[in-house]
Amino acid sequence: MADVTREQESAIADSFEDILSMLPVIRDASQSAREILLANLVMIGEIPSPTFDEFRRVEFIQNRFVEAGLHNSSADEMGNALGILPGKSGGQNILVVAHVDTVHAATVDHTITLQPQSVIGPGVGDNALGMALVVTLPMLLELLNIELQSNLVLMGASRSLGRGDLEGLRFFLSNSEIPISTGIGIEGFPLGRLSYNSIGMYRGEIICSVPEEYDWTRFGATGAILTMNEVINHIQEIRLPRRPRSSIVLGSIMGGQAYNTIATNTVLRFEIRTESEQVGEEIYHEMEAIISEVSSQTGADIKLDVFARRWPGGITYQHPLARAARRIMGALDIQPRKSPSTSELSAFISHDIPAITIGITYGEHMSSPEEEVLIEPIFTGLAQLIGILLAIDRGFCSAD
DSSP-assigned letters across all residues of 51-71: TT--HHHHHHHHHHHHHTT-E
CB 73 → another protein: shortest distance, Å?
17
> By CB under 8 A, is residue 39 in contact with another protein?
yes
List the one residue out of 357, 373, 346 whose CA is nearest residue 44: 373
CB 151 → another protein: shortest distance, Å?
24
Nearer to another protein (CB atom), residue 46 or residue 205: 46
- 228 contacts: CB under 8 Å, gap ≥ 6: 206, 208, 253, 255, 266, 268
Taking CB under 8 A as the criterion, the residue among 2, 11, 78, 114 binding another protein is 114
Q: How far apart are the two ends of the chain, measured CA to CA in Å?
A: 38
Tell me the C-alpha distance between 288 and 280, whole Å: 12
Where b means 16+ CB within 10 Å and e means fewer, 185-196 reads bbbbbbbbbbbb
Contact by Cβ (8 Å): 146, 33: no
List the one residue out of 130, 131, 133, 111 whose CA is nearest residue 47: 111
List the one residue out of 137, 189, 136, 145 whose CA is nearest residue 2: 145
CB 111 → another protein: shortest distance, Å?
5
Taking CB under 8 A as the criterion, the residue among 7, 107, 116, 333 binding another protein is 116
> By CB under 8 A, is residue 179 in contact with another protein?
no
The 3-state DSSP class for residue 195 equals: strand
Taking CB under 8 A as the criterion, the residue among 5, 15, 72, 115 binding another protein is 115
> By CB under 8 A, is residue 43 in contact with another protein?
yes
Give the x/- contact pattern for another protein in 117-136, rule: CB under 8 A. Answer: --------------------
Stretch that binds another protein, among 72-80, 95-103, 113-121, 245-253 (CB under 8 A): 113-121
CB 177 → another protein: shortest distance, Å?
32
CA torsion through residues 7, 66, 175, 311, sign:
positive
Stretch that binds another protein, among 31-39, 157-165, 270-278, 283-291 (CB under 8 A): 31-39
Q: Please count the other Cβ atoms lying within 10 Å of the Cβ belonging to residue 145.
A: 15
> By CB under 8 A, is residue 108 in contact with another protein?
no
Tell me the C-alpha distance between 182 and 146, whole Å: 19
Residues 61-90 contacting another protein, CB under 8 A: 67
Nearer to another protein (CB atom), residue 34 or residue 337: 34
Nearer to another protein (CB atom), residue 113 or residue 368: 113
Contact by Cβ (8 Å): 174, 290: no
Measured CA to CA in angstroms, residue 351 lies from 183, 306, 344, 368, 393 at distances of: 11, 22, 12, 33, 20
Nearer to another protein (CB atom), residue 89 or residue 111: 111
CB 116 → another protein: shortest distance, Å?
4
> By CB under 8 A, is residue 112 in contact with another protein?
yes
> By CB under 8 A, is residue 46 in contact with another protein?
yes
> By CB under 8 A, is residue 399 in contact with another protein?
no
Nearer to another protein (CB atom), residue 39 or residue 249: 39
> By CB under 8 A, is residue 38 in contact with another protein?
yes
CB 120 → another protein: shortest distance, Å?
10
Nearer to another protein (CB atom), residue 47 or residue 210: 47
Nearer to another protein (CB atom), residue 14 or residue 67: 67
Nearer to another protein (CB atom), residue 10 or residue 111: 111
Report the length, in residues, of the chain. 400
Say what the alpha-carbon torsion angle 390, 129, 45, 185 is, to the nearest 10 degrees.
60
Stretch that binds another protein, among 20-28, 110-118, 183-191, 392-400 (CB under 8 A): 110-118
- Binding residues for another protein, how many (CB under 8 A)? 15
CB 46 → another protein: shortest distance, Å?
7
Amino acid at 71: H
> By CB under 8 A, is residue 106 in contact with another protein?
no
Cα 92–70–151 angle (5° rounding)?
5
* Binding stretches for another protein (CB under 8 A): 35-36, 38-40, 42-43, 46, 67, 111-116
